[in-house]
Amino acid sequence: MIGLKRGRVELVPYQEEWRKSAENIIYRLKKLLGDTAVDIQHIGSTAIPLIHAKPIIDIAVAVRDLDDISSYVKVLKQNDIIFRGAIISGEILFVIGNDEMRTHHIHVVKWRGPEWENYINFRDYLNAHPEKAMLYDSYKHKLASQFSDDRRNYTAGKEEIIQQLLAEASIWKRNPV
C-alpha cells in the first residue's frame, strides 16, 4: 500500500514495495534533474524497515543551491511531480498524488545543509539502533491514535522525540559505535 488521504494519519507495517517505489522515483528524479541533484535518498519512516509508517514515500533531493530547482518546476509537473510551495524551513516540497491522495513527498534541500544532514542522520541512526527505532515507533502509535484525522498535530507531537533522536544521531555520527 502506497498513498494516504490528505490529512489522515494511518501507520502500517513496513512493506518492501516502499523501497522499490523509492528506487523508481529516485531513478526518475535523476533522469529529470541530472547534475542539479547532487544526491537523492529515500528518507523518513518508510526507509526504516523496523517501524510502522504512513504509506507516503519521502525522498530527499540535495542541490547545491535551492534556486537551482526553479527551472525544473515545469518539467517536474509534466511528470506528475507537483510543486507545493516556496522555501519553507530550508526546503522546497513537491508531491506526487492529488488533492485527495498523496503517495510521495519530495523534499528538495541544500546539499550538506542541516535539513539534508538531519534527514540522513535520522534514518541511519534509527536503522543502526533498533531500540531507538522502536522508541520512535511507540511515540508514533500513541500520536496516531490521538490524531488520526489531524496530521498537523500528529507531526507537531513528534517534534520533541525527533529532536532528541537527532541530537543522539549527531553524536553517533561523529563517533559511531
Q: Tens digits of per-residue pLDDT, 105-118?
A: 999 999 999 999 99
Q: Taking the domain 4-174, which CATH number applies?
A: 3.30.460.10
Average pLDDT, stretch 159-172? Answer: 96
d(CA 139, CA 11): 12
Q: What DSSP designation does 100 have?
A: S
Task: For residue 24, name the pLDDT band (cuts at 50, 70, 90).
Answer: very high
| Of 22-26, 31-35, 67-71, 99-103, minimum mean pLDDT range | 99-103
Per domain, the residue ranges of the chain are 4-174
d(CA 113, CA 176): 21
| Helix, strand, coil % over all residues of the chain, rounded to 5 | 55, 20, 25
DSSP character string of 12-24: B---HHHHHHHHH
- CA dist 159 to 17, 28, 140, 166, Å? 27, 31, 11, 10
**Residue 177: its pLDDT value, please?**
65
Contacts of 118 (CB under 8 A, 6+ apart): 166
**Residue 83: its pLDDT value, please?**
93
DSSP character string of 30-93: HHHHGGGEEEEEEESGGG-TTS-B-S-EEEEEEES-GGGGGGGHHHHHHTT-EE--S-BTTEEE
| Whether pLDDT at 88 is above 80 | no
**Residue 6: its pLDDT value, please?**
85
